[in-house]
Chains A and B, each alone.
Chain A
Amino acid sequence: MAPIAEQLTRPAVRLAALTRSFGSRTVLDAIDLEIPAGQFVALLGHSGSGKSTLLRAIAGIDHDTAGSGGLSAPERVSVVFQDSRLLPWSRVLENVLLGVGKRDADGRPPAERGRAALAEVGLAGRERAWPGELSGGEQQRAALARALVREPELLLADEPFGALDALTRIRMHALLRELWQRHRPSVLLVTHDVDEAAALADRVLVLERGRISVDLEIDLPHPRSYRDPLLGEYRERLLAALGVRPDGAPATGAARDGAASAGSAGPGGES
């Protein structure tokens, strides 16, 4: 694996002892993390584990949280939220062009780039539609187009498919992976879906009580089949780290304790 990682010179994201807390509760506890440029990383965790806080810290939109630590992120960062966050009073193309400057490096006018981005996500011809006229999946595609048209070095996605139905989600997985292969931004995908993380990412992190308990590289070719037994192994390891036994029942004892011990007891998973 990692022919990409070897080409890399400097990491896209570097966190050094990053700490964030709400009041007396520490949400992120001295996290050290490097994401190489162009790597596709998924961040797993229970709700309340601090996944979104970490993403918001990297995105620079965590104004209300106190914290310390070092953080370096690229200049061009795009964020995809769980809701598409399209402005309802702007047409789809205008929404895609929201964060776009006058001209790009090639000198192409913005409208042309926006159209190209919409075509890339399969929304050609819907430029003049209002966001309210799109389905949930289409809205999220438009949000992806808006993120990509800015040619980000880092794409942050906060459960971007969480509100979609299962079938649409599978199509969006393929689309996201395809777009990543074409544009090669670094990706940090926050999700609570183990299948999603295992199917999409080259590296999966598990965040548990404000610390990264598992850092697992998934060395499987793409596109990945859900039937691949190797993928199944990775999934089970991640589920165990999250405190879920293969049969779906919570691990013995408190789920969180189980998760912590499973995480530390899996040296094969640490990299």
Chain B
Amino acid sequence: MAEHVSTAGPTGRSTGLSAGVVTGVVTAPRRPGGTAAGATAERPAVPPEAVVAGPGPAPGGPVAGRPRARRLGPGPRRPYARLVGPLLLLAVWAGASAAGVLDPRVLPAPWSVVRTGAELWSGGTLRTDLGTSLWRAAQGFAIGLTAGVVLALAAGLSRVGEALIDGTVQVNRAVPTLGLIPLFILWLGIGETFKVVIIAIVVYIPVYLNLHAALAGIDARYVELAEVLRFGRWRFVRQVVVPGALPGFFVGLRLAVTGSWLSLVVLEQINATNGLGYMMFQAQNYGQTQVIVLGLLIYGVFGFASDTAVRLLERRVLSWRRSLSS
């Protein structure tokens, strides 16, 4: 109702100013049934005295107009809009290189970076380095994600679990994970294991923190509803707790994805004999700026792609929230 009233006022003015925006938005599909909206969806069988009691004319629910952009919102969503910033940056870079403003020793032109990438790829070294890095990130991410979810569920659903786990994780969180590297090298050697473990630790912490907070923050009204409906514990967890905690879980998941790439950079630049970080470290010794930039670009692309993948997954799984965010 309030929305109806508030949009009614400025409509006349805003259509003049931004008619294109207002009419151009027909994205959000509403009312899938499509048949009865507003007045007809309400019960048709109104007893006669209802007419007497309602003093105003025009009975019926709020008018369901066509969807239009929220006046105070950021405006309609455009597909692939997120790519605009990175592409613009690339264009500026290419333009500056072509104009000769950029010294290639400081920042080589995009095409020379791409050429270097093609050479390294056909030579086979880039393929190996990339594969190694991806495998490390994937392993660490999978282990960290599993650990984070299991620990958060254990801590969020039982008091014993909370007593055992929550404080321990908070201590772990307070210790800088990268500060654990020397100890882990002594324990696990300089091979793959310690790298995967470090990535897993970096990943599990945001997953745990956000999922645990989401579990603890389940709306008490829904708990009450579950009580009234005589839910068993399992049904309560499956139908109320887990779906209610999913939005928080996805916040953690996105932080975790970024975290896994970040820790990979550090690990491969300090202690590695292969991988993207190692490739860049070697390039520094030989002054190959284009190889360093290539490595950075690959990190950037993969970080962006994995974040986008999580976003898409989130939109799919949380489709019930789309009406709010779009």
Contact = CB atoms under 8 A, between A and B. Distances in A.
A129 interface: yes
B1 interface: yes
B79 interface: no
Contacts of B42: 122, 135, 137-138, 168, 171
A59 interface: yes
A244 to B, nearest CB: 19
A83 B243 CA distance: 20
B249 to A, nearest CB: 13
Nearest to B246: A89
A89 B32 contact: no
A85 interface: yes
Interface residues of B, number: 44
A98 to B, nearest CB: 5
Interface in B281-324: 318, 320-321, 323-324
Interface residues of A, number: 41
Contacts of B54: 166-167, 170
Interface in B226-253: 227-231, 239-240, 243-244, 246
Contacts of B231: 98-99
Interface string A72-111: 0000011101010101111000000011000000000000
B222 A133 contact: no
Contacts, number: 107
A227 B239 contact: no
Main secondary structure of the interface of A (DSSP, over half): loop
B41 interface: yes
Interface in B252-298: none
Contacts of A98: 225, 229, 231, 239
B32 A129 contact: yes
Contacts of A61: 224, 227-228
B94 to A, nearest CB: 45
Nearest to A128: B32
A87 B239 CA distance: 9
Contact of A133 (B48, B243, B246, B323): B323
Contact of B49 (A81, A90, A225): A225
Nearest to A165: B1
A22 interface: no
A132 B324 contact: yes
A174 B32 CA distance: 27
28 contacts: A60-B227, A61-B224, A77-B228, A79-B228, A85-B224, A87-B240, A98-B225, A98-B229, A98-B231, A99-B229, A99-B230, A99-B231, A122-B44, A125-B33, A126-B33, A129-B32, A130-B320, A130-B323, A133-B30, A135-B38, A165-B1, A167-B54, A168-B61, A170-B54, A171-B42, A171-B50, A174-B47, A227-B52
Q: Considering the complex of A and B, which 4 residue pairs feature the smallest CB-CB distances, nearest first?
A: A99-B229, A89-B243, A170-B50, A225-B49
Interface of A: 59-61, 77-79, 81, 83, 85, 87-90, 98-99, 122, 125-126, 128-130, 132-133, 135, 137-138, 150, 165-168, 170-171, 174-175, 178, 223-227
